[in-house]
Chain A
Amino acid sequence: MSGSARETIEYDVVIAGAGPAGLSAAVRLKQLDSSLDVVVLEKGSEVGAHILSGAVLDPSGLEALIPDWKEKGAPLNVPVTSDKFYMLGEAGQIRVPGFPMPPLMNNHGNYIVSMANVCRWMAEQAEELGVEVFPGMACSELVYDENGGVKGVVAGEFGKEADGTPGPAYEPGMELHGKYVFLSEGVRGSLAKEVIAKYDLSKGKEPQKFGIGMKEIWEIDPDKHNEGEVTHTMGWPLGGNAGGGSFIYHLENNQVYVGFVVHLNYKNPHLFPYMEFQRFKHHPMVAELLEGGKRVAYGARAISEGGYQSMPKMVAPGVALLGCSVGMVNVPRIKGNHNAMLSGKAAAEAAFDAIKVERSGDELTAYEDDVRGGAIGKDLKKVRNVKPMWSKWGMLPSLALGGLDMWTNTLGFSLFGTMKHGKTDAAATEEASKHKVIDYPKPDGKLSFDRLTNVSFAMTNHEESQPSHLQLGDDKLPISVNLPKYGEPAQRYCPAGVYEVVEEDGSDPRFVINFQNCVHCKTCDIKDPSQNINWVTPQGGDGPNYPNM
């Protein structure tokens, strides 16, 4: 579709993605100058529909942005009251006492929240300030100016046929131009990926690292529910196969968030993250809690784990990357929301200063300086060696060393300097023949569920007649290379069962992509060993419909 058929509209700042980062930027811009024209576009059918986080929220970001958040009714209702950490063995667990844990890890003063609900509330705050928020509108393309700088996005294109041509109900969408464009698409943003590649923003930085986080909401027996309780585990069932662990958060209304993160740098392509999660729930400690309860919702989302040394340059002409589109998760604390908010605030302040002196379309260097030198940089720098240690020495010994490093870092130095991550997660994948096949127990339908049943609890949907939003660079490669070499791990790493290798009697294996099931976690884009899968946005409103994730 040529751009000329599209209506164009001018804003001061165009924001792609209504997560904590994008919404914070929108709120801050309007706080600074209510006459600024600010628009937020969100691909989810409503704000929050695609938000999946833990989440234990460190309120420092919100505090800085909206100091009277309590009076304004922000949904931070459950203060953390207890915080436990266990090393799991197959049948038992060892509680790791709090004292060797560095003060950085303490959850005192934090809240168990649904970030989806926090974002819904933030969107209301933004709209009250005059921000235009449009959910159900995916930003599918960047618009460049004559000098190659970013001047806008295309959003709201609907009704393409499977071959990409306009169908009968085709809507071309609009070009939204801004003096600055903020990409706050969260981890592995599709437009952010294009910008990082185009301007070579990762040059000289460590590769970004990721995990896949899967999460279920359970409604449990009120007698077992303990509002405010936070539990993390490591160890079983992943053992030495991969890094990662679980979280169990008791929120309000007898609900519990049960989540499981697998670091995507695992080597064994037979590993099946989803089944590790399902198996985990059968650990006696977890089974006891969930028995008699009901799984209410399911979802998955990648999480950025590269930390300080992996943050790409975050500005290019006309555009800034925010939050987890940069990767601002403090890995040992598994917290990124506070930094996402602070980054939105910082980007807004830099844009406000620039627009005030009639600048536009240039690099918001002040934003990047603020991130690296300010609160976010400080938060991430202290913990920068934890993840590389996990990768290098395994999780158990690193717990001790990582703890030591975090202790010394809080005192202002590190024994280890800044460690490197080495390979990308895709390159970390080794050949299937070098590794043992892992045998997973069959889900019992009570505590554990098969993947497709669970995906129906993500309430995801995609208009079937559109082109697949999971694009293969070479459509033969899954069968010609990935299958013989890696046993096509897409069959296993995708938490929604989108990818199948179908081998009917006698005929050659076929690679099938059930894109309708996709929950927008971005794992395939990250982990495909051949880097042959490109995730682009399907039409707006498609994808999961998460409740209070």
Chain B
Amino acid sequence: MKVLVPVKRVIDYNVKVRVKAGGSGVDLANVKMSMNPFDEIAVEEAIRLKEAGKAEEIIAVSVGVKQAQETLRTALAMGADRAILIVAADDVHTDIEPLAVAKLLKAVIDEEQPGIVLCGKQAIDNDMNATGQMLAALTGWAQATFASKLEIDGDSANVTREVDGGLQTIKVKMPAIVTVDLRLNEPRYASLPNIMKAKKKPLDEKTAADYGVEVAPRLEIVSTAEPEARAAGIIVGSVDELVEKLKEAGAV
């Protein structure tokens, strides 16, 4: 079985996100980028499937700017076997929308015929939480979202999902699209020897046009704003003072 893992290059989770002057979007110039953390979990799960003998080949795919190559190299260093880069934008500020990404992934699926697709549940930059679901709709495959546990059992998969207030386990027929949640696993480090070896693993470069997919945005970003700065807190000396202050603030 082949496993397909889409990975996205996003602003690093350590970085303080800053809105561009004018509010047209987030400033990505000079900013550290890395693999979407949920996608790292997906890559890790794919490697574990392979290590457990349930998968033969792991293909990582990224859609975006040319620099997403680095993200794919990380996936290869972690343990993916080969990678496909679909260049769909020149400007690092261009975000390819989920529908276009899903269409491109559908085209890759048609070529590669994987048995399962492991996606991150969402990308931490735009938090869309849509690509996996759209891909399921386009392929007509079963979908299991927010996976915190995955067991492959013959031609079906048991997926435990994190739902409001608890867990739900569902059984889906393969091939399937699974989107992964935070608690599924702890991704491994890309080790130095593996990073060196990853330089020699195959990385195919394509463009969106090669697949005949239109990637122009359909959504218009009206504005982007930073959260209001929090007002400084005060330390109160006693319960009476607390009540007093709350009254002043109109909270009680």
Contact of A134 among B16, B188, B195 (CB under 8 A): B195
Does any Cβ of B come within 8 Å of A385's Cβ? Answer: no
Find out whether the CB atom of A545 lies under 8 angstroms from the CB atom of B189.
Answer: no
Interface string of B19-40 (1 = CB under 8 A from A): 0010000000111101000000
Contact between B32 and A49, CB atoms less than 8 A apart: yes
Whether the pair B14, A7 counts as a contact (CB closer than 8 A) is no
B18 x A9 contact (CB < 8 A): no
- Give every chain A residue within 8 A of B34 (Cβ-Cβ): 45
Q: Could you say which residues of chain B place their CB within 8 Å of the CB of A159?
A: 189
Across the interface, B18 reaches (CB within 8 A) one of A7, A158, A296, namely: A296
A506 interface residue per 8 A CB criterion: no
Are A117 and B14 in contact, CB atoms less than 8 angstroms apart?
A: no
Q: Is the CB of A9 within 8 A of B196?
A: yes
Given the contacts A49-B32, A114-B30, A137 and B192 also touching, CB distance less than 8 Å: yes
A110 lies within 8 A of chain B by Cβ:
no
With A7-B193, A156-B191, A459-B16 in contact, do A169 and B186 touch (Cβ < 8 Å)?
yes
B16 touches A169 (CB 8 A): no
Q: Tell yes or no: A171 within 8 A of B by CB.
A: yes
Assess whether B232 is interfacial by the CB under 8 Å rule: yes
Counting contact residues on chain B (CB < 8 A from A), the size range is 20 to 34
- The 8 Å CB contact of A158, one of B14, B29, B31, B189, is B189
A174, A219, A460, A461: the one contacting B192 at CB < 8 Å is A174
Which residues of B are found within 8 Å of A459, using beta-carbon distances? Answer: 12, 14-16, 32
Interface mask (A514-549 → B, CB under 8 Å = 1, otherwise 0): 000000000000000000000000000000010110
- Check A134/B186 contact, CB under 8 A, given A459-B14, A459-B15: no
- Knowing A457-B16, A459-B15, A459-B16, the reply to whether A156 touches B30 (Cβ < 8 A) is no
A174 to B196, CA, bound (A): 11
Other-chain residue from A7, A117, A169 in contact with B30 (beta carbon distance below 8 A): A117
A155–B14 alpha-carbon span in the complex (Å) = 23
Cα of A472 to Cα of B195 in the assembled complex, Å: 33
Is B12's CB under 8 angstroms from A545's CB? yes
Contacts of B190 in A (CB 8 A): 136
Counting CB contacts under 8 A, is A206 at the interface? no
Main secondary structure of the interface of B (DSSP, over half): loop
Footprint of A on B, CB under 8 Å?
A: 12, 14-16, 18, 21, 29-32, 34, 186, 188-193, 195-196, 232
A456 interfacial contact with B, CB 8 Å: yes
Given the known inter-chain contacts A45-B32, A219-B21, A548-B30, please indicate yes or no for A456 contacting B16, CB distance below 8 A. Answer: yes
Can you list 19 contacts pairing A with B, beta carbon distance less than 8 Å? A7-B193, A9-B196, A45-B12, A114-B30, A116-B30, A132-B196, A136-B190, A156-B192, A158-B189, A158-B191, A159-B189, A169-B186, A173-B192, A219-B21, A459-B12, A460-B14, A547-B15, A547-B32, A548-B29
* CA distance in complex: A344, B190 (Å): 29
Q: Which residue of A lies closest to B187 (CB)?
A: A169
Contact flags (1/0) for A446-490 with B, using CB distance below 8 Å? 000000000011011100000000000000000000000000000
Cα-based distance from A116 to B30 in the complex (angstroms): 9
User: Is A349's beta carbon under 8 Å from chain B?
Assistant: no
| Residues of chain B with a CB closer than 8 A to A174's CB | 192-193
Interchain nearest-CB distance for B234 vs A (Å):
13
Q: Does A46 contact B (CB under 8 A)?
A: yes
Report the separation of the CA atoms of residues A403 and B196 in the bound assembly, to the nearest whole angstrom. 52
Output the least CB separation between B177 and chain A (Å): 28
Indicate if A417 sits at the interface (CB-CB under 8 A).
no
Q: A49-B32, A445-B232, A548-B30 are in contact. Are A169 and B14 (CB under 8 A)?
A: no
Q: Contact between A461 and B14 (Cβ–Cβ < 8 Å)?
A: yes
- In the complex, given contacts A168-B186, A456-B16, A547-B32, what are 9 additional A-B residue pairs having Cβ atoms less than 8 angstroms apart? A45-B12, A49-B32, A156-B191, A156-B193, A169-B186, A457-B16, A545-B14, A545-B32, A547-B31
Residues of A within 8 A of B191 (CB): 156, 158, 171, 173
A168 to B188, CA, bound (A): 9
Chain A residue nearest to B192 in the complex (CB): A156
B30 touches A547 (CB 8 A): yes
Which residues of chain A in 86-136 are interfacial with respect to chain B, using CB atoms and an 8 Å cutoff?
Answer: 114, 116-117, 132, 134, 136
Top 10 A-B pairs, shortest CB-CB distance = A156-B192, A547-B30, A548-B30, A171-B191, A158-B189, A545-B32, A459-B14, A461-B14, A174-B192, A7-B193
CB-CB contacts below 8 Å: A296-322 with B: 296-297
Least Cβ–Cβ distance between A463 and chain B, in angstroms: 10
Which residues from chain B contact A219 at a C-beta distance below 8 Å?
A: 21
Tell me if B15 and A545 are in contact (CB < 8 A): yes
Q: How many angstroms between the C-alpha atoms of A267 and B186 in the bound complex?
A: 48
Distance of A459 Cα from B12 Cα, bound (Å): 10
Q: Which residues of B contact A548 (CB under 8 A)?
A: 29-30
Question: CB-nearest residue of chain B relative to A222?
Answer: B21
Does A134 contact B32, Cβ atoms closer than 8 Å?
no
**Closest chain B residue to A548, Cβ basis:** B30
CB neighbours (8 Å) of B18 from chain A are 296
| Complex Cα–Cα for A460 and B13 (A) | 11
B189 touches A155 (CB 8 A): no
**What residues on A are CB-neighbors of B12 within 8 Å?**
45, 459, 545
Q: Which of A169, A254, A456 contacts B188 (CB 8 A)?
A: A169
Residues on the B chain within 8 Å of A49, using CB: 32
A158 CA to B187 CA in the complex, in Å?
13
B188 cross-chain contacts in A, Cβ below 8 A: 169
Contact B32 A46 (CB under 8 A): yes
Which residues of the partner chain B approach A296 to less than 8 Å between Cβ atoms?
18
